[in-house]
Amino acid sequence: MGLAVAVMMVLGSLPALSQEPAQHHHEETAAGASPSDTMDPGTAWSVFNHRGAGWFIFFWGLTALVAGMQWPRRSWVRFVPPLVLLGLVEFLFLRNDPEAWPTGSIGLWASLKDPEVLQHRVFVLVLLAMCVIELLRAADRLPPILQKYALPALAVFGGIYLFFHSHGGEGMAQMMADPAMASSPAMKTMMDSMVLIKREHAWFSILGFGLAAAKLLGDSGKLKGRLGATLWSPFAIILGIYMMGYRQ
């Protein structure tokens, strides 16, 4: 789930990047369970996802920085950043939604009826497209127009899409429709968590936009040499570090 996707990342998107509290967490709250000082399994799953994705994005940016510093020399290192990004795609594909396909009991088509699950899958597809684009660029098989605009466009898309990412899913909407539940202390705690998540996602998007702008300047030739090759990578590194401290 970016920029956190789509780092942007998505980056946003990367972005982009985002698993909210799991459904059974909502069910426990609806049953009147009081908040606990220990992290419930749904929240722990989400936090692990974000922090794990942060490590992938950090190494994506770091390896890209190393490859860019070699300019104008080209070595096998240029293939490492997109392969790291491919690892992130695989990580999110398996872990985004624990109750949905491919690891959960809910089938693919049934799970896509949930807007939150659908959005997570869109983020994964954006990251996969970025990975393919960067692999083709490293192999010198990317058409000139795509070399200039493809990755920045995907990063901007991921960042914008992350602003519209729903939080809490259908369970949250159902609980908010119940006046008694909506005014409960447990719901207030959950709403505070949603506010924190939205703020963190906003920073994901902002860093994703910065990455997109720097990548566009470099890929279009406005910035040349090592500066053009490396300027975008610190945005990915900073985004990865920020995501390593994710909480909700």
The span from the CA of 215 to the CA of 233, in Å, is 8
**What would the pLDDT profile of 58-100 be if each residue is shown by its tens digit?**
999 999 999 999 999 989 999 999 999 999 999 999 888 888 8
CB atoms within 10 A of CB 212: 31
Closest CA to 200 of 29, 5, 45, 32: 5
**Which residue shows structure tokens 């190393």?**
66
The span from the CA of 233 to the CA of 130, in Å, is 14
**What is the model's pLDDT at position 102?**
85
The span from the CA of 18 to the CA of 53, in Å, is 9
**What is the model's pLDDT at position 19?**
38
**What is the model's pLDDT at position 97?**
81
DSSP state of 11: B
Report, as ranges of residue numbers, the positions in the chain whose pLDDT lies below 50: 1-37
The span from the CA of 136 to the CA of 72, in Å, is 18
**What is the model's pLDDT at position 199?**
81
Domain definitions of the chain by residue range: 40-244
Closest CA to 186 of 26, 22, 24, 21: 26
**What is the model's pLDDT at position 179?**
62
**What is the model's pLDDT at position 181?**
61
Phi, psi of 185 (to 5 degrees): -60, -35
Amino acid at 44: A
Closest CA to 8 of 247, 232, 245: 232
Distances from the Cα of 37 to the Cαs of 40, 143, 144, 189, in angstroms?
9, 54, 54, 12
**What is the model's pLDDT at position 3?**
43
**What is the model's pLDDT at position 142?**
92
Separation of first and last alpha carbons in the chain: 15
Q: In the chain, where does DSSP find H-type helix?
A: 23-30, 41-69, 80-95, 108-111, 115-138, 144-163, 169-176, 179-182, 185-219, 225-230, 233-244
**What is the model's pLDDT at position 180?**
61
